[in-house]
């Protein structure tokens, strides 16, 4: 068997614990094959062939029966010898089988340890390992499919192409430093390096744009809903939830006045918090409620203010003033979307004129308002489109899942390239250009894990669940 590295053979239940037709225990490491032989009494397994076996206790009694699958390293998920035991699902059976596997010498796998070994043995890069976790945890079909695309290596490929481009550029700069003014040609200022550098900068911006979409897809946005009682906040939540089937309700069986709700609209996941709900709670917890509402407001990506057009505005007050009251201060135009609800109740000309006036003030000051009726559904589509446009989310077609970590590394890379550009064009400082490019390469390499500190790796894999 392979893996002479002395790492322990690890094992864990790979399927969710609970009742199920099949439960899988996965083993990885040098002793996996041996343990499977002792467990089943068989003397050999053929790689990639399923063998039907009985799983025995030390005293010869049967724990369970099922299939053994053998993947011989390095042709396995982790790159080590891997054994999969497919027994019956069920807590007792699975735990007994796992205990027996431990008795035979395997150790409990830590969180993300299988994926870490795969990464360590170059079976996966960091982006792909993260994509496994993201695919499993995806809250929308779009997020799941883009995670699978990242897992297949599409995102890594983009990063690797960029890395190659950067390395190429570094070689040019190093050569220009080593051979200055050769045959009266000044490599640094002949424009070739500058062209290449600018091409690389463009490419980074493209990848960054893709990654931002991918991050929105993965993490969604946090939205706070505010409005006077009876403005129609709960009705709006119901309407939004009704737009797509994939709705996750935190409080089972309720759609009215839940504090938090996750809704997926056009592929964008919205984590909605109803601040009114927070304020409505018992007096004793009201203070905590208000505190939590404030935190939610400061952390929100988007604030939605719902008001009842037939009632919520006194003669001379405006939606912006109402927003100021509700949020404590007038939010930034980028962060606020005003929703004029119950448009179906506006009938007479006076009402409509007043509404037009407030609309004017809003647009003049750079804010946006959508008119809807949660009763009839009018304007809801426009509301969703406006919201997606405001956060810069385009309904995904070929998007790739991405994390804040990736965006951060791409931004730092772009920053180093900007430095390099300045050092080249303003100062013609070759040594400094070379150093900035080196930094850029290091930042970019963090994404796939080519250059990653151990503590970063620990953090990433530690957030995976056990058995992954
Ligand atoms: P919340 O207190 O802000 O959550 O408001 P609700 O969603 O509970 O709505 C308060 C009342 O307004 C309910 O009776 C709703 O049926 C009604 N309502 C909500 N939206 C509309 C609308 O667009 N048109 C009309 N006519 N009534 C609405
Ligand atoms: Zn409500």
Q: Whose CA is nearest to atom 22 of ligand 1?
A: 342
The closest-lying atom of ligand 1 relative to the alpha carbon of residue 376 is: 23
Superfamily of domain 223-391: P-loop containing nucleotide triphosphate hydrolases (3.40.50.300)
Residue 256: predicted pLDDT: 38
Query: Considering only CA atoms, which of 323, 351, 347 is closest in space to residue 337?
Result: 323
**Per-residue pLDDT at 289 exceeds 80:** no
Helical H runs in 41-153?
A: 91-103, 113-120, 126-137, 141-151
Residue 247: predicted pLDDT: 37
The closest-lying atom of ligand 1 relative to the alpha carbon of residue 274 is: 4
CA of 347 to the centre of ligand 2 (A): 25
d(CA 4, CA 281): 61
Residue 259: predicted pLDDT: 65
Residue 75: predicted pLDDT: 96
In this structure, whether the domain defined by 136-215+403-462 belongs to CATH 1.20.120.430 is answered with yes
Neighbours of ion ligand 2 (CB under 5 A): 233-234, 257
Other C-beta atoms lying within 10 Å of the C-beta of residue 367: 21
CB distance 113 to 461 below 8 Å? yes
- Is 255 marked as a binding-site residue? yes
CA of 231 to the centre of ligand 1 (A): 6
**Per-residue pLDDT at 438 exceeds 60:** yes
Residue 349: predicted pLDDT: 65
What are residue 98's phi and psi, to 5 degrees? Answer: -65, -40
- Is 293 marked as a binding-site residue? no
**Per-residue pLDDT at 48 exceeds 90:** yes
Using most ligand atoms within 8 A of CB, pick from 224, 226, 232 the residue to mutate for ligand 1: 232
**Per-residue pLDDT at 252 exceeds 50:** no
pLDDT tens-digit map of 69-87: 999 999 999 999 999 999 9
Residue 395: predicted pLDDT: 64
What lies within 8 Å, CB to CB, of 324 at 6+ separation is 330
The closest-lying atom of ligand 1 relative to the alpha carbon of residue 341 is: 23
Share of the chain above pLDDT 90, in %: 49
Residue ranges of domains in the chain = 10-109, 136-215+403-462, 223-391
Other C-beta atoms lying within 10 Å of the C-beta of residue 195: 10
CA of 277 to the centre of ligand 2 (A): 7
Average pLDDT of the chain, as a whole number: 85
Bridge partners, residue 25, by sequence:
13, 85
What is this structure's pTM?
A: 0.73
Residue 450: predicted pLDDT: 80
- Is 209 marked as a binding-site residue? no
- List all residues whose CB is within 6 A of at least one atom of ligand 1: 227, 229-235, 341-342, 344-345, 373-375
Rg (alpha carbons) of the chain, rounded to whole number: 29
Helical H runs in 300-333?
A: 319-327
d(CA 5, CA 220): 41
Looking at 179-183, 209-213, 235-239, which range is the least confident one? 179-183
User: How is domain 10-109 classified at the CATH fold level?
Assistant: Gyrase A; domain 2 (3.30.1360)
d(CA 446, CA 60): 50
CA of 221 to the centre of ligand 1 (A): 25
- Is 232 marked as a binding-site residue? yes
From the CA of 340, which ligand is nearest? 1
CA of 232 to the centre of ligand 1 (A): 4
**Per-residue pLDDT at 255 exceeds 80:** no
Average pLDDT over residues 413-429: 93
**Per-residue pLDDT at 282 exceeds 60:** no
**Per-residue pLDDT at 285 exceeds 70:** no
Looking at 89-93, 193-197, 286-290, 389-393, which range is the least confident one? 286-290
Share of the chain above pLDDT 70, in %: 86
pLDDT tens-digit map of 336-372: 999 999 999 887 766 666 677 777 888 889 999 999 9
CA 382 to chain centre: 26
CB distance 313 to 307 below 8 Å? yes
């Amino acid at each position: 068997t392979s893996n002479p590295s002395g790492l322990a053979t690890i094992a864990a239940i790979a399927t969710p614990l609970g009742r199920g037709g099949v439960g899988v225990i996965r083993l990885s490491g040098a002793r996996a094959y041996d343990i499977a032989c002792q467990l089943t009494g068989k003397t050999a397994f053929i790689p990639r062939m399923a063998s039907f076996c009985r799983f025995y206790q030390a005293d010869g009694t049967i724990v369970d029966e099922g299939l053994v699958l053998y993947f011989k390293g390095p042709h396995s998920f982790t790159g080590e010898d891997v054994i999969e035991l497919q027994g019956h699902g069920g807590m007792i059976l699975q735990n007994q089988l796992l205990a027996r596997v431990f008795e035979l010498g395997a150790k409990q796998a830590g969180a993300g340890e299988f994926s870490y070994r795969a990464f360590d043995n170059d079976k996966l890069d960091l982006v792909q390992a993260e994509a496994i976790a993201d695919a499993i945890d995806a809250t929308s079909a779009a997020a799941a499919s883009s995670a699978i695309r990242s897992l297949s290596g599409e995102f890594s490929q983009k990063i690797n192409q960029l890395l190659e481009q950067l390395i190429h550029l570094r070689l040019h700069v190093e050569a220009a430093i080593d051979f200055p003014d050769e045959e009266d040609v000044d490599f640094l200022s002949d424009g070739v390096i500058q062209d290449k550098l600018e091409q690389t900068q463009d490419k980074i911006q493209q990848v960054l744009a893709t990654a931002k979409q991918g991050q929105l897809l993965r993490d969604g946005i946090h939205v706070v809903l505010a409005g006077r009682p009876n403005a129609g906040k709960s009705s709006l939540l119901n309407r939004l939830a009704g737009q797509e089937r994939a709705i996750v309700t935190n409080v089972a069986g309720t759609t009215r006045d839940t504090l938090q709700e996750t809704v997926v609209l056009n592929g964008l996941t919205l984590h909605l918090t109803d601040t009114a709900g927070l304020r409505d709670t018992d007096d004793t917890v009201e203070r905590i409620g208000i505190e939590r509402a404030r935190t939610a407001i400061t952390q929100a990506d988007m604030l939605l203010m719902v008001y009842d057009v037939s009632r919520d505005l006194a003669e001379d007050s405006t939606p912006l003033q109402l927003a100021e009251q509700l949020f404590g201060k007038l939010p930034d135009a980028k962060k606020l979307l005003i929703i004029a609800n119950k448009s179906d109740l506006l009938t007479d000309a006076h009402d409509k004129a007043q509404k037009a006036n407030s609309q004017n003030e809003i647009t003049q000051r750079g804010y946006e308002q959508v008119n809807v009726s949660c009763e009839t559904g009018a304007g809801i589509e426009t509301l969703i489109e406006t919201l997606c446009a405001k956060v810069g989310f385009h309904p995904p077609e070929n998007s790739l899942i991405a994390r804040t970590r990736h965006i951060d590394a791409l931004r730092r890379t772009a920053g180093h390239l900007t430095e390099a550009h300045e050092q080249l064009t303003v100062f013609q400082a070759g040594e400094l250009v070379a150093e900035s490019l080196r930094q850029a390469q290091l930042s970019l390499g963090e994404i796939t894990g080519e250059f990653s500190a151990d503590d970063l790796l620990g953090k990433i894999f530690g957030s995976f669940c056990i058995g992954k």
